């Protein structure tokens, strides 16, 4: 119900910048006025540069500690909802499946898990994914790209940089355009963090979801797990949903949901953030 108190933790995708989820946070709090919403930024995507670039495994380990600390420091009867977006969905799945396997004392405090268009495994049939993997692993190419970025950032006036960023995501909200500028113009380390994190994602994730390990983890959390998919998604393809439905059977009926009204990067558009937050509310209002 609307007055139910849940404690939400949202794990972003790559780039793990919490500010991109401000609109999503606002809409969750509209539907759950008494519920705190914690958006956890990755260490490599904060305004101050990290001591070194972190892999997705290192980011996961850091986030696990921060999630555990939040839950441990809360009231013992409080209920927690974990939401993971894109690669953040993989992080949530890894942490919670491990907690269940090890019978971690905090696992029972998590009442529901939502994976929003999760990047759970590589798609061997996706030429776009293969091209991106080759590019992020091409060290000479990346050195040129980052070098050009530094030169453009150094010599172009801010108004020109602002226009370039706007062309990259023309549909993003005005406030999101400011976030782009704050992080990708003012923070020198962000592009390198994006690339380093992406490179480690390709190296870490299962090469094909049909290999089985990811499916086992999803199956282990079936009682509390709900996964969203959308059309034309490079990172959470519809074929993955079809495979999971076939593999997991009737026990997962209704827990693999297609919502085509939003895009993978829903969080940069307020109306799409509203739609996703509303759907979470509809699923949680009668949940006990």
Mean pLDDT of the region 92-117: 97
Q: What is the pLDDT of residues 154-179, one digit of tens each?
A: 999 999 999 999 998 899 999 999 99
Average pLDDT over residues 183-190: 94
Report the SS3 class of residue 8: strand
Mean predicted confidence (pLDDT) in 269-279: 97
Give the residue-averaged pLDDT of 123-149: 96
Residue 1 pLDDT: 45
Q: Mean pLDDT throughout 203-231?
A: 94
Average pLDDT, the chain: 94
Helix ranges restricted to H, 73-126: 87-101
DSSP 3-state assignment of 44?
helix
Sheet strands (E) in 16-107? 37-39, 80-85
What value, to the nearest 5°, has the Cα angle with vertex 196 and ends 229 and 70?
65
pLDDT at 203 over 70: yes
Rounded Cα gap, residues 78 and 276, in angstroms: 23
User: Is the pLDDT confidence value at 13 over 80?
Assistant: yes
Its sign, for the CA torsion 178, 48, 10, 7, is: negative
CATH match of 7-123+208-284 with 3.50.30.60: no
Residue with tokens 């062309």: 167
Lowest-confidence segment of 2-11, 71-80, 223-232 by average pLDDT: 2-11
Per-residue pLDDT band for 288 (boundaries 50, 70, 90) equals low
Whole-number pLDDT of residue 287 = 74
Assess whether pLDDT exceeds 50 at residue 195. Answer: yes
Q: What's residue 76's pLDDT?
A: 74
């Amino acid at each position: 119900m609307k007055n139910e108190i849940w404690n939400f933790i949202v794990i972003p995708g790559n780039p793990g910048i919490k500010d991109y989820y401000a609109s999503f946070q606002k809409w969750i709090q509209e539907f759950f006025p008494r519920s705190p919403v914690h958006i956890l930024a990755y260490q490599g995507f904060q305004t101050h540069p990290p001591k070194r670039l972190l892999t997705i495994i290192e980011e996961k380990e850091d986030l696990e500690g921060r999630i555990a600390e939040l839950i441990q420091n809360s009231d013992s009867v409080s209920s927690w909802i974990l939401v993971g977006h894109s690669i953040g969905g993989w992080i949530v799945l890894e942490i919670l499946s491990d907690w269940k396997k090890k019978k971690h004392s905090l696992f029972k405090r998590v009442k529901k898990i939502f994976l929003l268009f999760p990047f759970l495994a590589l798609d061997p049939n996706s030429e776009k994914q293969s091209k991106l993997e080759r590019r992020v692993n091409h060290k000479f190419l990346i050195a040129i790209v980052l070098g050009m970025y530094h030169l453009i950032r150094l010599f172009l006036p801010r108004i020109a940089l602002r226009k370039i960023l706007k062309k990259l995501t023309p549909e993003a909200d005005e406030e999101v355009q400011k976030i782009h500028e704050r992080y990708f113009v003012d923070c020198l380390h962000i592009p390198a963090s994006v690339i380093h994190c992406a490179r480690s994602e390709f190296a870490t994730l299962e090469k094909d979801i049909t290999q089985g390990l990811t499916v086992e983890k999803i199956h282990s959390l079936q009682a509390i797990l709900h996964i969203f998919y959308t059309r034309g998604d490079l990172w959470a393809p519809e074929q993955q949903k079809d495979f999971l439905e076939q593999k997991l059977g009737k026990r997962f009926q209704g827990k693999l949901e297609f919502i085509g009204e939003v895009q993978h990067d829903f969080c940069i558009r307020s109306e799409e953030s509203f739609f996703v937050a509303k759907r979470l509310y509809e699923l949680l209002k009668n949940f006990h």
